[in-house]
Amino acid sequence: MLQMDGVQKIYRTDLVQTYALRSLSLRVAEGEFVAVTGPSGSGKTTFLNIAGLLETFEAGTYRLDGEDVSKLSDHARSRLRNVKIGFIFQSFNLIPDLNVYDNVDVPLRYRGMAGSERKRRITEALERVGLASRHQHLPSQLSGGQQQRVAIARALAGSPRILLADEPTGNLDSLMAREVMNMLEEINAQGTTIVMVTHDPELARRVHRNIHVMDGQVSDLDQRLAA
C-alpha cells in the first residue's frame, strides 16, 4: 500500500539545513493499522506529510498503492490526496466559517461529485461518527472530541484507501481519546489502512504494528526488515 525507500527530506532556511528525514524506508501493507512513535522533532509529521503528498522530498522513492508518486505534478498530487487519502489532524483543522455539514462537504466538492451522492455520503459519514443531528453547528459550537469526530467524518466521506492521522488525540482528554481510537479501529476493521502518529503508549499498544522514528530514521532495525 505504502512503500518508502531511502526518502530524504531537508528543510533549508537561510542559516541552517535541517535533515528532517534521512534515508527513511518503510512499508505499510493494505489493511494495516500502524502507529508511528518517536520523540518530538524526530520527523514524524514530516513523514506523514510526505506520505500524504503534502510535501515533496529530496531523495528516495515513494510508491503509493503501487504508483510511483515522487515525480507527480502538484495537480496530480492534489487529485490523489482527494481520492485516496484521508487526513486527521491534531488540531482538528475544521474550517471555522463553515458548519459541520459544509466541512464534511469540502473534499467531496473538490472531487466534483454530484449533489445527491455528496448528500448521501455526508449523512452517512456524520451518522457513523454520531453527529448527524449537529450538522448545522459551527465548529466553535462543538467540543474538542466532537470536532475531531467531524474531522474523521470529513476524512471518511471520500472513502479513502488510507487514513493519515497526526496525533489525533493530542488535544483531547483520555476519555475522548479512547472514543476516537475506538472509532479508528472500527474504520480499520472495515478495510481502510491507517497510519497514526502518536505520543500515547497506550494507544500505540492497541495497533497492529509500531514504527519508532528517531532522528529522521526508522530506529528499529527489525521493524525495517520486517517491512
Q: Which residues bind ligand ADP (CB under 6 A)?
A: 11, 13, 18, 20, 38, 40-46
Read off φ and ψ for residue 166, nearest 5 degrees.
-105, 105
Task: Report the Cα 142 to chain-centroid distance in Å.
Answer: 22
Beta bridge partners of 37: 212
Residues 85-124 that bind another protein (CB under 8 A): 85, 87, 89-91, 93, 95-99, 102, 105-107, 109-111
Nearer to another protein, 81 or 128 (CB): 81
User: Among candidates 9, 3, 42, 50, which has minimal Cα distance to 26?
Assistant: 3
Q: Does 45 bind Mg ion (CB under 5 A)?
A: yes
- What are the cell numbers at 203? 494507544
Of 17-25, 40-48, 102-110, 111-119, the window that binds Mg ion (rule: CB under 5 A) is 40-48
Query: For residues 61 and 109, what is the distance between their CA atoms, to the nearest angstrom?
Result: 31
Q: Print the binding letters for residues 41-70 with another protein: x by CB under 8 A, - otherwise.
A: ----x--xx--xxxx---------------
Extended strands (E) in 82-166? 85-88, 162-166
Residues 140, 197, 52, CA angle at the centre, nearest 5°? 85
Nearer to another protein, 53 or 184 (CB): 53
Total chain residues near another protein (CB under 8 A): 35
Query: For residues 127 and 115, what is the distance between their CA atoms, to the nearest angstrom?
Result: 18
Residues 140-159 that bind another protein (CB under 8 A): 154, 158
Query: For residues 27 and 53, what is the distance between their CA atoms, to the nearest angstrom?
Result: 16
Q: Does 82 bind another protein (CB under 8 A)?
A: yes
- Out of 75, 114, 175, 190, the only residue in the binding site for another protein (CB under 8 A) is 75
**Site residues (vs another protein, CB under 8 A):** 45, 48-49, 52-55, 74-75, 78-79, 81-83, 85, 87, 89-91, 93, 95-99, 102, 105-107, 109-111, 154, 158, 166
